[in-house]
Amino acid sequence: MEKLLYEASLEGNLNTLLMLLQEDPLILDRVTLDRHGDTPLHIASMLGHVGFVKEVITRKPHLAMERDSQKRLPLHIASAKGHTEIVKLLLSANPETCNARDCDGGNPIHLAAIKGHYEVVRELVQAQPQAARAMVQHETILHLCVKHNQVEVLKLLIESLRGDHEFVNTKDAYGNTILHLAVADKQVQTINFLLLTTTIEVNATNMNGETSMDKLAQVARDLKYQQILQSLTRAGAVETSIQGPVRRVYKNSRTKTSLDGFNYHNQPLSPQYLRGELTENDDWLNKKRSSLMVVASLIATMAFQAGTNPPSGVWQDDGSSNDPLHKAGFAIMPSNHPTLYHIFLICNTVGFVSTFSIILLLISGLPFVKHRVFLWVLMVIMWIATTSMSITYLVSIWVLTPTPQSSLVFKRVAIGITGVWIALMTLLVVGHTIRIIAVAFKKFEKLVLPRKRIILSPLVINHAAEI
C-alpha cells in the first residue's frame, strides 16, 4: 500500500489516494512515521499536483510540517519550484511554515527569491512579512536576489520593505552591501533601481575599505562600465583608497579635500580624474614592455639564424691542405671577404646579446623594471641592437650582391637608406635622453629648493583631524 501511495504521489493520481485512504485512514501518518526521506506530500509539491496536495492537506494538515532529510518542508520545495497554487494551499494549512529553515539556513522565501518566482515571493511576503528579514549565512534576501540577478523580485521585496533604511544597507560577512555586489557583477538595471528608488548608501565601505566605486575600478571597462560609472558619479560615489596626487578621499562628503592641500570647493571628485592619470601611466609602461619583449625576441631569433647560417653559406667539402679555412661546415665568407665577415660577426653578436639582455631584464621581475628610467635604458639597448642588425644586413647585401655597375648603385642606395634610418634612430635616442635628463633635473630641483608652505583653511584642518 505504501508503494501504491508513492506511485500515486508521483502521478498525482487522486483516485488511488482516495482508495488507499478508504482502506487505511492512517496510511499517511504511517508513511511519515516509518520513513525519513521525501513524504508523498513532498513529492506531490515538487511535481505540482495541486489536487493531490489539496486532498492531503484537507485530511492531514499537520503533514505540512513534516521535514525531509534536508530539513525541508513541502513549502520549501513548492516555493523553489514556483508552484503558486500549492504554496497557497500549504500556507492555508500553517502560515508559520514560512519561517522554517532548512539545513542550509534558508526559508521558503529565500528559495523562491533565488529562483526568481515572483508570484510565490509575493504570496509568502503577504503571509509572513518578517520571514523576508531573516538572514541566511550572513546574507539578507536582498543579497541573494542580487547574487542571482533577480531584479524583479528585488524590486518587490524592497517595495514591501519600503522605509527600512537599515535593512536595505545591511552588509554581508565581507561587509558588502547589495550595491557592492551589483557593481561587481555589472548589473546596470539593479544599480539604477537602487540609486534612484532606495536609500542605499553609495559610499558605504566593506571590510577592505572599498566603496562601490572601488568595486567598479576592479571590473573590465566596457559599455556597462561606462553606464555604471555615470550613474555612480551622479549619485556622488567616490573612491576611498587612491595612490598618487590625491592621497585620500573622505567618504560621505560631497566636499572633498586631500591632505596635500587641494580644495575642491563643494565639487565631487571626478572618477575620470581619480582613475585616468593614475592608471594610464601604468598601462602605457606595460604596453611598452610587452612590445619590447616581442621585438627583442624577434631580433634575437634573426641574429641566431644569421649567426648559424652566415651569408654565402658554408663549405660542403674540405679544400686543399693549403687553405685551412676551406673545411666542411666552415663559413665561406671568411675566405672571400675576411674583413666584412669580422664586421658581420661583431655586429650580429652585439645584436643578439643586446636583445637577449632585454629579454632577461624584462622577465627578471626586479622592482626597477616598472620605472620610466629603466624603459629608457631598454630603449637605448634596443637602439644598439637594431643598429647592429642594420649593419649586419648591409654586410650581407654587400657580400651576396654581384659587382657590376648596377649592383654598385643598388649597394649605395641601400647604404644611404640604412644610414638615414640609423641617423633617425639616433635622433630619437638623443631626444629621449634630453627629456629624461630634464625630468630628473626638475625632480632634483624640487628636492633641493625649499618648498612653499601650504596654508590650509581652518575648515580643511578640522575636517582632516576628524577623519
The answer to whether residues 399 and 313 touch, using CB atoms and an 8 Å cutoff, is no
Taking the C-alpha atoms of residue 431 and residue 427, their distance in angstroms, rounded to an integer, is: 6
Question: Could you say which DSSP state residue 371 is in?
Answer: S
Query: Looking at residue 367, what is its pLDDT?
Result: 60
Residue 264, pLDDT score: 33
Residue 66 and residue 40 in contact, taking contact as beta carbons nearer than 8 Å: no
What stretch of H or E contains 361?
helix 338-362
Alpha-carbon span 202 to 238, nearest angstrom: 8
Give Cα separations from 306 to 326, 347, 415 (angstroms). 20, 11, 19
CA distances from 48 to 68, 81, 183 (A): 17, 8, 37
Tell me what pLDDT residue 365 has. 66
CA–CA separation, 313 vs 226, rounded Å? 59
Tell me the CA distances in angstroms from 182 to 170, 230, 242, 349, one per residue in order: 14, 15, 22, 57
Residue segments in the chain with a per-residue pLDDT below the cut of 70:
34-36, 241-286, 321-322, 365-373, 403-412, 414, 443, 446-467
Contacts of residue 368, Cβ cutoff 8 Å, sequence gap at least 6 = 374
Alpha-carbon distance of 448 to 443, in angstroms, equals: 9
Backbone angles phi, psi at 263, to 5 degrees: -115, 125
Task: Count CB-CB contacts under 10 A for residue 222.
Answer: 9
Cα–Cα distance for residue pair 20/10, rounded to 1 Å: 15
Any alpha helices (H) in 66-117, and if so which ranges?
74-81, 84-93, 108-115
* Residue 79: per-residue pLDDT: 96
Domain ranges of the chain: 1-134, 281-448
CA–CA gap between residue 374 and residue 353 (Å, rounded)? 18
pLDDT reported for residue 144: 96
Instruction: Please state the φ and ψ torsions of residue 326, each to the nearest 5 degrees.
Output: -90, 80
H/E run at residue 465: helix 458-466
pLDDT of residue 404: 57
**Taking each helix axis from N to C terminus, what angle separates 271-308 and 223-234, rounded to the nearest 10 degrees?**
150
Helix/strand/coil for 185: coil
Query: Per CATH, is 1-134 categorized as 1.10.3720.10?
Result: no
